[in-house]
Amino acid sequence: MAGEKEIRVKISSIKSTQKITSAMELVAASKMKKAQQLMYSGRDYSSKILQISGHIAHSTEAKSHPFVVQRPTKKVGYIVISSNRGLCAGLNTNLFKKTLENNIYWKNKNVETKLCLIGKKAASFFKSIGSDNILAVITNLGETPQVAELIGGIRIMIDEYKKNNIDRIFIAYNHFVNSIIQKPTVKQILPLLPDETKAYKYSWDYIYEEDPQKLLGSLIERYLESQIYQALTENNACEQAARMLAMKNATDNAKNIIDELQLVYNKARQATITQEISEIIGGASAV
């Protein structure tokens, strides 16, 4: 059995770890509230614009627009959104796993993949597995991301798409279901997916007030911005929620270990006292 002193040192070191994890839990909880607000406020807009782009993909004029035309798939692009920091349980790992599964699916079909990585964790992960298909890396986004900062890196991939170097673009992020469940999601953002729930028997078109190609261009640009921004805010909320849970578990585990060690410590202390008493009694009776 370890000595009293060693156990005491161990307990105090675990206690300080516990303090750190419980502080991190509180910080994550307050950040999660903000991140969640940001996410919910954008959700309506991004889902509506997704719906509208689903309608647009059916219209006659749009069918010839480069962002709508379905080309034979030779190369695909992935925008992978991860967190900048760790200590959020399996959040990033699950997402990378899902992305890699997708990549392998395309590889088996002889389709090349290109990556655009957002967040330090994605950057270090894909570098560590030796990916040589990374197009762009963005790691300097804060907790309240600005669309302008984001769009710079994404632009490279969209330009490749315009030049027909990439035929499909997917976005991989964690979807916020609730503060306990985060769902890794891979979703196609380009070309636009036609809304399959509505059957359009005949070809039809909108009345356009201005040049349709220009209008579609600016609408789709807005669509892309909102989809990517929304994915980012979702992922942000997920990160904070996952970290909060991970830190809560860590704090609970620390508490259990401390309780166990306290028992061992008490036993050890009692054993020394008993031993000392019996030694004294033994000594006294010998006199």
Partner 1 sequence: MEKTIFCDVTSAEEHKFSGDIRMVIASAAKGEIGIYPGHTPLLSTLKPGPIYIICSDNTEQIYYLSGGFIEVQPNSIYVLADSAISSTELNESEVLKAKKAAEKLLQNKEAKVEYSKVIAELSELSSKLKTLRSVGKYLK
Residues that bind partner 1 (CB under 8 A): 41-42, 44-45, 48-49, 51-52, 55-56, 59, 204-210, 212, 215, 218-219, 222, 226
Q: Which is nearer to partner 1, 52 or 100 (CB)?
A: 52
Distance CA 57, CA 48 (A): 14
What is the C-alpha to C-alpha distance for residues 16 and 67, in angstroms, rounded to an integer? 55
Alpha-carbon dihedral sign for residues 92, 98, 103, 108: positive
CA distance 51 to 219: 12
Q: 179: helix, coil or strand? A: coil
Nearer Cβ to partner 1 (96/223): 223
CB of 25 to partner 1, least distance (A): 30
In the bound state with partner 1, the residue whose beta carbon lies nearer, of 42 and 86, is 42
Which class for 218: exposed (0-12), middle (13-18), buried (19 or more C-beta within 10 A)? exposed
Q: What is the CA radius of gyration of the chain?
A: 28
CB of 49 to partner 1, least distance (A): 6
DSSP 55-88: HHTTSTTGGGSTTT-----SEEEEEEE--SS--S
Q: Which is nearer to partner 1, 1 or 199 (CB)?
A: 199
Q: How far is the CB of 194 from partner 1 (least distance, A)?
A: 14
| Cβ nearer to partner 1, comparing 194 with 212 | 212
- Min separation Cβ 170 and partner 1, Å: 24
Q: 237 or 242, CB closer to partner 1?
A: 237
At closest approach, how far in Å is the CB of 40 from partner 1?
9
The residues, any chain, with a CB within 8 Å of residue 181's CB and separated by 6 or more, are: none
- Shortest approach of partner 1 to residue 109 CB, angstroms? 35
